[in-house]
């Protein structure tokens, strides 16, 4: 009598029982928990222009997907070779706007791989350590970050007065560019503020010969 298993002339049914349902459930639950922790750290440390909630959900999904893939690979050597070939043709063309986002992507994938490999303490305590480091460094005081001050003056004397006043108000200043036209001088100065107080910009804009002063945050890629 022909059985259902005889219809499949392969090890398909054997692979179905190579990983227990309990292991699958535990692995996915742990992956979801670690992924949620990564998502919360990302939300806490985000410092970009526009927060993307879909990217946070992607971090959770990547952790669980990586766990599923590694569980399948560890259960079958032949499948692992085919998986490598299949994944090698995948190309991601979504632009990464923030450099730190790359670290979160690798963190999610790495945590999923480690969980599926059975190294649960490494995945949990390693993720906690990474999360604490990111929170500490990302939440440093804002006045330590670089700022750009744009000053518009009418003549050389007002320019010198504005620069001298600015040096006394900040911990460090560095002139990045200077544009001079007839009756107008524009300076771009990178500064590090002593504290979060920005009232000195108001005083600077009211000085004689100063037509305007603008303060913007600066991260090396954009102003805003």
Residue 8's pLDDT is what? 47
pLDDT in tens, 167-203: 888 888 888 888 888 888 898 998 888 877 888 888 8
Helix (H) or strand (E) holding 158: helix 156-169
Global confidence as pTM: 0.61
Q: State how far the Cα of 66 lies from the Cα of 43, in Å rounded to an integer.
A: 21
- Name the DSSP letter for residue 47: -
Write down the pLDDT at residue 36: 94
We find that the CATH architecture of domain 142-217 is 2-Layer Sandwich (3.30)
* pLDDT over 90 percentage in the chain: 15
Least confident among 39-53, 132-146, 151-165? 132-146
pLDDT in tens, 102-121: 888 899 989 988 888 888 89
Q: Which helix (H) or strand (E) holds 160?
A: helix 156-169
Domain ranges of the chain: 4-138, 142-217
Comparing 84 with 30, which gets the higher pLDDT? 30
CA within 13 Å, CB half, 145: 18
pLDDT at 143 over 60: no
Reading the block at residue 129, the tokens are 């350590």
Give residue 125's pLDDT: 93
Q: Is pLDDT above 90 for 38? A: yes
């Amino acid at each position: 009598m022909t059985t259902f298993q005889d219809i499949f002339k392969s090890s398909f049914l054997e692979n179905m029982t190579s990983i227990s349902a309990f292991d699958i459930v535990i692995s996915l639950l742990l992956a979801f928990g670690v992924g949620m922790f990564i998502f919360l750290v990302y939300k806490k440390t985000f410092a970009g222009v526009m927060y993307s909630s879909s990217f946070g959900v992607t971090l959770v999904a990547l952790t669980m997907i990586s766990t599923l893939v590694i569980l399948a690979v560890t259960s079958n050597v032949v499948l692992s070779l085919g998986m490598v070939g299949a994944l090698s043709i995948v190309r991601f063309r979504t632009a990464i706007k923030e450099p730190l986002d790359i670290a979160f992507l690798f963190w999610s994938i790495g945590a999923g791989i480690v969980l599926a490999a059975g190294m649960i303490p490494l995945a949990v305590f390693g993720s906690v350590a990474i999360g604490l480091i990111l929170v500490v460094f990302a939440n440093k005081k804002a006045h330590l970050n670089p700022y750009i001050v744009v000053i518009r003056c009418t003549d050389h004397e007002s320019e010198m007065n504005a620069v001298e006043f600015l040096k006394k108000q900040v911990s460090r200043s560095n002139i990045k560019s200077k544009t001079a036209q007839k009756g107008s001088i524009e300076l771009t100065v990178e500064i590090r503020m002593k504290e979060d107080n920005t009232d000195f910009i108001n005083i600077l804009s009211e000085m004689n010969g100063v037509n305007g002063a603008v303060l913007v945050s600066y991260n090396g890629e954009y102003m805003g």
